Amino acid sequence: MLRASKLLIPLLVAAVAVGGIGVWQRLVLGERYLALGSYIPWGLWVGLYVYLVGISGGAFLVAFLHYALGVGSMRRPGRYAIPFALASLGGGLALVQLDLGHMDRFWTLFTRTSPASLLGWMVWVYTLYALVLAAMLGAMALESRRALRWLAVAGFVLVVTFGGGEGALFGVLGARPFWSSGSLPIRFLSSAFLSGMAAVTFVVAAFRRWPADAEHQAASWFLRRALLGLLALNIVIEVLEVSVTLYTGLPPVVETYHLLMFGPYWWMFWVLQLAVGLAIPLALLASPAGARPAWLGLAGFLVAVGYAGTKQNLVGVGFLVPEFRRLPEAFVHPRLSVTYFPSATEWFVAAGVIGAAALAFVVAIEVLPFLKNHEEWGAARGETRRLAA
């Protein structure tokens, strides 16, 4: 067993145990101990759902580069990308399931979905994407390159669909000027590709089983250049969005951006989003040592963590400016407030779900032979096919 796995598994099991307390509170006591209310119906769980599902799509990009586009240096990272994408997707969907007021009615999204419902379509796309990921794991076990190629193409189409669809879910909310933008689907896709590839970069650095040979060096150089390019792309998109939006001078939008940068959670923007998720990784990757596994893995970890803060900012700040100015003063109640900070139950559940997703990934790469010993597994499958022919 890898040293990283030995260190992580006890911590992840503890996180799952803590999460069990939060899940029990949610199932038995309902939403009584959640910090949500009438004015802020979405909080930590929705922000993490958007982040985890997006990071799943970004991780799939690594597999798509190898299995569909034939980028040879992504062979080993692509092997880890599929179980990572499946675990992240499961974690994100579990969080949004727990956020539902009536969790027992989720199945109606499959049976009674309106053709005009974006959320209904997203549920079907998520389901198909999960099936594609499971099928790709099966194709890896069988070393079926043809199946992997076609599944990678189908999966990438689904990634682009739900990646843009997540942005559209927010962008079509005209009552929230901070979200209402046609560029939001593009911003969601670009940030998902960046955070997902960064997460896979960290995973490869932390759970590498292969030697630091020429193929590994080629993978490191490719991931470094890809992350630098995606960082630059995200900077350009965000600068254009913010500058054009602020130039219009719409009061609710300007006020929301002011709260984002100087409000009660200013540190999430300046420290987590900009410093941790952008400036420090950019400096690490641009340095002469940027292709070294340790530096590259650290940069990937920081980008992934920073963009978790980005999604929390997007979801949380959007509710800080009330739709009617005097509404918070008209009725005074803890559930009728535009201020929000996650409760202990929300933190427990978030830690448990993320811990369970990470634990599922670690167990998969330690137990499944075509992931644990994929070099020998591929050679053995190839020899079996040659003898059968």
Cβ(78)–Cβ(201) below 8 Å? no
Residue carrying structure tokens 């002469």: 288
pLDDT band per the 50, 70, 90 thresholds, residue 82: very high
Cβ(126)–Cβ(53) below 8 Å? yes
In the chain, the number of structural domains is 1
> Average pLDDT of the chain?
86
Q: Please state the φ and ψ torsions of residue 321, each to the nearest 5 degrees.
A: -95, 115
Q: Please state the φ and ψ torsions of residue 197, each to the nearest 5 degrees.
A: -65, -35
User: Which pLDDT tens digit goes with each residue over 173-210?
Assistant: 777 777 777 778 888 899 999 999 999 999 999 998 88
Q: Mark residue 30 as left, alpha or beta (left: phi above 0; alpha: psi -120 to 50; beta: remaining).
A: left
Q: Residue 360 and residue 215: Cα distance in Å, rounded? A: 27
Q: What is the SS3 assignment for 347?
A: helix
User: Which pLDDT tens digit goes with each residue over 284-318?
Assistant: 999 887 778 889 999 999 999 998 888 888 888 87
Cβ(216)–Cβ(208) below 8 Å? yes
For the chain, count helices (H), then strands (E).
Answer: 16, 0
pLDDT band per the 50, 70, 90 thresholds, residue 383: very low
- Reply yes or no on whether the pLDDT at 166 is more than 70: yes
Range of the domain at 362: 3-388
Q: Which amino acid is at 356?
A: A
CATH code where residue 191 lies = 1.20.1630.10
User: Which pLDDT tens digit goes with each residue over 316-352?
Assistant: 887 777 666 666 666 776 777 777 788 999 999 999 9
User: Which pLDDT tens digit goes with each residue over 93-140?
Assistant: 999 998 887 777 778 877 887 787 777 888 899 999 999 999 999 999
pLDDT band per the 50, 70, 90 thresholds, residue 265: confident
Percent share of the chain, pLDDT over 70: 93
pTM strictly above 0.85 = yes
- Reply yes or no on whether the pLDDT at 381 is more than 60: no
Q: What is the mean pLDDT of residues 73-101?
A: 92
User: Which pLDDT tens digit goes with each residue over 249-260?
Assistant: 778 788 888 888
Task: Produce one character per residue of 217-255: b if its CB has 16 or more CB atoms within 10 Å, e if not.
Answer: eebbebbbebbbebbeebeebbeeeeeebeeeeeebbbe
Q: Residue 153 and residue 205: Cα distance in Å, rounded? A: 26
Q: What is the SS3 assignment for 389?
A: coil
Q: Mark residue 150 as left, alpha or beta (left: phi above 0; alpha: psi -120 to 50; beta: remaining).
A: alpha
Q: Residue 117 and residue 102: Cα distance in Å, rounded? A: 18
Residue 281: CB atoms within 10 A of its CB come to 28
Alpha-carbon distances of 335 from 37, 42, 264, 350, rounded to whole Å: 4, 13, 19, 21
